[in-house]
Amino acid sequence: MKERIAFYAKRIKEGRLKEMWRQTVWIYGYGKKHWLAMIIYTLMGLVGTVVSLGVSFASRDLVNIITGYQAGKLVQTFSIMIGLGIANSILSQITSYVSALVGMRVDAEIKADIFEKILVTDWESLTNYHTGDLLTRWNTDASSISNGILNYVPNAIIYLFRFISAFAVVIVNDASFAIFAFLGMPVSLILSKTLMRRMVNNNQRSAAMGAKMSGFNQEAFSNVQTIKAFDLIRLYVQRLKQLQKEYITMKLDFQKMSIWTSLLMTTVGLLVSYAAYGWGIYRVWSGAIDYGTMTMFLGLSGTLTGTLHNLTSLVPGAIALTTSAGRLMDIVEMPREDDGKREEVKAFLEENRDRGIGLTIDHLTYAYKTGTQVFENATMEARPHEIVGLVGPSGEGKTTMMRLLLSLVPPQGGEAYFWAGENKEKRGFDLSPATRQLFSYVPQGNTMFSGTIAQNMRNVKEDASDEEIIAALKQACAWSFVEKLPEGIYSVLHERGGGLSEGQAQRLAIARALLRDTPILLLDEATSALDVATERQVLRNIMGGERPKTCIVTTHRPTALSMCKRVYAIRNKQCALLNAEEIKDMIDNF
């Protein structure tokens, strides 16, 4: 026996219950800011209960007056009953308003909070999740929590109070009726237990399925061009139908279960109320109670069975809620970025803008979490006024080096730090998310957002004037085509910069980077779609600005290479500095 208790205690401590407790605490972290609304909601639920009991009493009196058991003012009692009934329905409307209010506020709060947390989550951990999955969690799970947040404590209190008060009225009036309160209980309990198991299962499956479907749709809609080009329309429609079929089968499975459950519950409810009815008639016949009390009891037996069922179904509801919380916690508990030194780095940046800022990578080692070792003791340097070239075959690690510089991924070994001035006069900070302020990055691919060109530019410099934007566009050799657009810089781009040619998008991305005006520029194949003359002009403009720039480019192209002060070849997980001859060879053999 003692062992069994210890066994259960251990299970409670370590198992699902502990997990549920942690999740509950997390949910209440959001709920507690709305404690006042919750208390109001609870109080109104309690008052509502008292008012409905009042209605029961009034209806008892009314029946007794009509049947002549009781002397009293018929009209008055009738008015009280109607009045209380109306008050009750007003109360229940207000209660549902408060509950909607709390629900919506908590919903907005959780979503805003999770949105931010997703964005500050360590990039590499985040890439393990499909965007469809993230979207489903952010949207559906957050909603299920906000919809159910009142279901935990407030509703438990209200239902418990409703049950106890109705039960007390029954006991006081005719204790023999109390049995009917519990008649439905065994069925309720058994049902809620099976329902609970199914529900957990169903929740998990339905969340996984939802994530799969939204991921599928999202990917299909953003790749319409590829789907058409490869003649995949039929295949994709087929796949969607397959997914829908799986979804429907799963949902129906659960639906059947809940149909059976409610059929059973209704039958039990009916049986209980008929039994109560029979017992009531007997009690009236034997003179133990009057007609009014019997009518009241019939109403109360419904309340008791219903409330008891509500109470037991709070458990599966809570489980659904905690499952959702668990899915959100998975995300928010991933490692976070720390940009603690933001202000210090900003000061360093302001102080040394005019001197230029360079960086040193010293024996850096990095492997992706998947195990791919990309760098081992890699060393390189980039100085102000210099274009530094990174070359290497595809898949060697050029983009990974950019990610390391941007602290999107953390190195496992070695050092990386900044310094100011051409001759490294002043040592600055180590690489960290806070040092992203020092960089402007032009990644591979089209990375413009939807909206006007001007909005895209102002994303990186909120108060940029039209003139500043045009100047940056000119520097990036983008003005020549933007000028010809009917709306100029106010022309609207589609999603992901749609509506532009690759080279145009690249030039806009470069203009955006230039407008940000940071000491270090990272160009990842950023000039690959430009013609040779434009590429040369862009690079010249970048370096010819007022302030010294440090520019790191990944490229295979002779034009860019011939402008580099220093070229590193990424090979054997290291950055090998090429001499003039090797660079010339590379240019000649292009």
Ligand X SMILES: Nc1ncnc2c1ncn2[C@@H]1O[C@H](COP(=O)(O)OP(=O)(O)OP(=O)(O)O)[C@@H](O)[C@H]1O
Interface contacts to Mg ion, rule CB under 5 A: 398-399
Number of residues that bind ligand X (CB under 6 A): 13
Q: Which of ligand X, Mg ion, none is residue 225 near (CB under 5 to 8 Å by kind)?
A: none
Q: Which of Mg ion, ligand X, none is residue 436 near (CB under 5 to 8 Å by kind)?
A: none
State the nearest-atom distance from the C-beta of 365 to ligand X, in Å: 14
Residue number, 398 or 507, with CB nearest to Mg ion: 398
State the nearest-atom distance from the C-beta of 402 to ligand X, in Å: 8
- Can residue 127 be called a binding residue for ligand X (CB under 6 A)? yes
Q: Which residues are CB-contacts of 250 (< 8 A; sequence separation ≥ 6)?
A: 202, 205, 206, 209
State the nearest-atom distance from the C-beta of 333 to ligand X, in Å: 21
451: left (phi over 0), alpha (psi -120 to 50) or beta: left
According to DSSP, the residues that pair with 550 across neighbouring strands are 520
Q: Which of Mg ion, ligand X, none is residue 440 near (CB under 5 to 8 Å by kind)?
A: none
Tokens of 459: 């994303």
- Can residue 368 be called a binding residue for ligand X (CB under 6 A)? yes
Q: Which of Mg ion, ligand X, none is residue 370 near (CB under 5 to 8 Å by kind)?
A: ligand X
Q: At what angle do helices 291-332 and 233-285 cross, to 10 degrees?
A: 150
State the nearest-atom distance from the C-beta of 369 to ligand X, in Å: 7
Which parts of 378-417 interact with ligand X (CB under 6 A)? 392, 394-400
State the nearest-atom distance from the C-beta of 507 to ligand X, in Å: 20
State the nearest-atom distance from the C-beta of 124 to ligand X, in Å: 7
Q: Any idea which residue has 């070695």 for tokens?
A: 414
Count Cα atoms within 13 angstroms, Cβ side, for 219: 13
Q: Which of Mg ion, ligand X, none is residue 397 near (CB under 5 to 8 Å by kind)?
A: ligand X
DSSP assignment, residue 139?
I
Task: Name the closest residue to Mg ion (Cβ).
Answer: 399
Termini Cα distance of the chain: 81
Tokens of 536: 């040369």
Q: What is the DSSP string of 144-176?
A: HHHHHGGGTHHHHHHHHHHHHHHHHHHHHHHGG
Q: What's the rounded Cα separation, in Å, for the pair 208 and 131?
A: 13
Alpha-carbon distance values, 491 to 90, 181, 446, 458 (Å):
53, 70, 17, 14
Question: What is the chain's percent helix, strand, coil content, to nearest 5?
Answer: 65, 10, 20
- Can residue 528 be called a binding residue for ligand X (CB under 6 A)? no
Alpha-carbon distance values, 1 to 8, 11, 15, 17, 448 (Å):
11, 15, 20, 21, 67
State the nearest-atom distance from the C-beta of 404 to ligand X, in Å: 9
Choices 203-211, 266-274, 370-378, 533-541 (CB under 6 A): range interacting with ligand X: 370-378
State the nearest-atom distance from the C-beta of 446 to ligand X, in Å: 15
Residue number, 144 or 559, with CB nearest to ligand X: 559
Residue number, 398 or 436, with CB nearest to Mg ion: 398
Choices 76-84, 88-96, 365-373, 511-519 (CB under 6 A): range interacting with ligand X: 365-373
Choices 92-100, 175-183, 248-256, 369-377 (CB under 6 A): range interacting with ligand X: 369-377
- Can residue 365 be called a binding residue for ligand X (CB under 6 A)? no
Residue number, 225 or 370, with CB nearest to ligand X: 370
Q: Find, among 542, 403, 515, the residue nearest to 459 by Cα.
A: 515
Q: At what angle do helices 35-66 and 153-174 cross, to 10 degrees?
A: 20
Q: Which of Mg ion, ligand X, none is residue 372 near (CB under 5 to 8 Å by kind)?
A: ligand X
Cα 513 from chain centroid (whole Å): 29
Residue number, 443 or 499, with CB nearest to ligand X: 443
Which of 475-505 are b and which e, b meaning 16 or more Cβ less than 10 Å from the residue's Cβ?
A: bbbbbeebeeeeebbeeebeeebeebeebbb
State the nearest-atom distance from the C-beta of 25 to ligand X, in Å: 34
Q: What's the rounded Cα separation, in Å, for the pair 141 and 207?
A: 8
- Can residue 445 be called a binding residue for ligand X (CB under 6 A)? no
Residue number, 371 or 544, with CB nearest to ligand X: 371
Q: Find, among 364, 508, 360, the residue nearest to 442 by Cα.
A: 508
State the nearest-atom distance from the C-beta of 218 to ligand X, in Å: 19
State the nearest-atom distance from the C-beta of 444 to ligand X, in Å: 6
Per-residue string for binding with ligand X, 91-110, x by CB under 6 A? --------------------
Report the residue from 370, 463, 467, 588 that binds ligand X according to the rule CB under 6 A. Answer: 370
- Can residue 571 be called a binding residue for ligand X (CB under 6 A)? no
According to DSSP, the residues that pair with 493 across neighbouring strands are 451
Residue number, 210 or 397, with CB nearest to ligand X: 397
- Can residue 372 be called a binding residue for ligand X (CB under 6 A)? yes
Residue number, 223 or 399, with CB nearest to Mg ion: 399
550-554 vs 566-571, strand pairing mode: unpaired
State the nearest-atom distance from the C-beta of 247 to ligand X, in Å: 30
Binding site for ligand X (CB under 6 A): 127, 368, 370, 372, 374, 392, 394-400
